[in-house]
Amino acid sequence: MDTTKSQALYERAKKVIPKGIHGHYGYAVTDASPVFFERAEGAHFTDIDGNDYVDWMCAYGPMILGYNHPAVDGAAAKQMAAGNTVSLASPVLVELAERLVDQITGADWALFGKNGADGTTLAVMVARAATGRKYVVKVDGGYHGAAAWMQTPGNPGSTPLDHELVLSVPWNDTAALQRVLDEHDGDVACFISSPYHHPVFVDNELPADGYWSAVETMCRKAGVVLIVDDVRAGFRIDLRGSHTAYGFQPDLMCFGKALGNGHPIAALTGSDALKSAATDVFYTGTQFFNAGPMAAAVATLDELVATDAADRITDLGERLNAGLVDVAVSHGHDLRATGVPGMPYYRIAGEGGAKFHARWIAACVERGAYLLSYHNHFVSVAHTDEDLKRTWDIADQAFTAIAD
Q: Is 188 in the site for a second copy (CB under 8 A)?
A: no
Kindly report the backbone phi and psi dihedral angles of residue 228, in degrees, each rounded to the nearest multiple of 5, phi listed first: -105, 125
Minimum CB distance to a second copy, residue 309 (Å): 18
Q: Which residues pair with 139 in a beta bridge?
A: 169
* Ramachandran category for residue 142: left, alpha or beta (phi over 0 → left; psi -120 to 50 → alpha): beta
Stretch of 6-14, 175-183, 333-341, 353-361 contacting a second copy, by CB under 8 A: 6-14
Minimum CB distance to a second copy, residue 290 (Å): 5
Stretch of 201-209, 286-294, 326-334, 353-361 contacting a second copy, by CB under 8 A: 286-294
d(CA 9, CA 1): 17
Which residue from 323, 344, 346 is spatially nearest to 336, judged by alpha carbons?
Answer: 346
Which residue from 197, 198, 195, 293 is spatially nearest to 238, judged by alpha carbons?
Answer: 195
Handedness of CA 172, 176, 182, 187 (dihedral sign): negative
Calculate Rg over the CA atoms of the chain.
Answer: 21
Between 77 and 208, name the residue whose CB sits nearer to a second copy: 77
d(CA 56, CA 372): 9
Minimum CB distance to a second copy, residue 129 (Å): 4
Q: Which residues pair with 45 in a beta bridge?
A: 40, 53
Q: Is 276 in the site for a second copy (CB under 8 A)?
A: yes
Stretch of 119-127, 215-223, 324-332, 388-396 contacting a second copy, by CB under 8 A: 119-127
Minimum CB distance to a second copy, residue 260 (Å): 9
- Binding residues for a second copy, total number by CB under 8 A: 110
Stretch of 211-219, 260-268, 339-347, 354-362 contacting a second copy, by CB under 8 A: 260-268
Q: Is 273 in the site for a second copy (CB under 8 A)?
A: no
Residues 158-187, interacting with a second copy (CB under 8 A): 158-159, 161, 164-165
Catalogue the E-assigned strands of 339-394.
345-349, 369-370
d(CA 241, CA 255): 9
Q: Is 17 in the site for a second copy (CB under 8 A)?
A: yes
Stretch of 93-101, 297-305, 307-315, 341-349 contacting a second copy, by CB under 8 A: 93-101
Q: Is 78 in the site for a second copy (CB under 8 A)?
A: no
CB 226 within 8 A of CB 219: yes
Site string for a second copy, 354-383 (x = CB under 8 A): ----------------x-------------
Binding a second copy (rule: CB under 8 A), the pick from 151, 249, 307, 397 is 151
d(CA 192, CA 27): 26
Residues 129-148, interacting with a second copy (CB under 8 A): 129, 134, 145-148
Q: Is 109 in the site for a second copy (CB under 8 A)?
A: yes
CA angle in degrees (0–180, nearest 5) for 48-257-278: 150
Cβ-based neighbour number of residue 264 at 10 Å: 16
Minimum CB distance to a second copy, residue 20 (Å): 9
Minimum CB distance to a second copy, residue 349 (Å): 26
Binding a second copy (rule: CB under 8 A), the pick from 7, 42, 49, 59 is 59
Residues 320-359, interacting with a second copy (CB under 8 A): none
Binding a second copy (rule: CB under 8 A), the pick from 42, 49, 106, 115 is 115
Minimum CB distance to a second copy, residue 53 (Å): 8
What burial class does residue 337 get, using C-beta atoms within 10 Å of its C-beta: 0-12 exposed, 13-18 middle, 19+ buried?
Answer: buried
Stretch of 37-45, 219-227, 246-254, 319-327 contacting a second copy, by CB under 8 A: 37-45
Which residue from 103, 128, 381 is spatially nearest to 274, judged by alpha carbons?
Answer: 128
The alpha helices in 271-384, defined as continuous H runs, are 275-280, 291-306, 309-330, 353-366
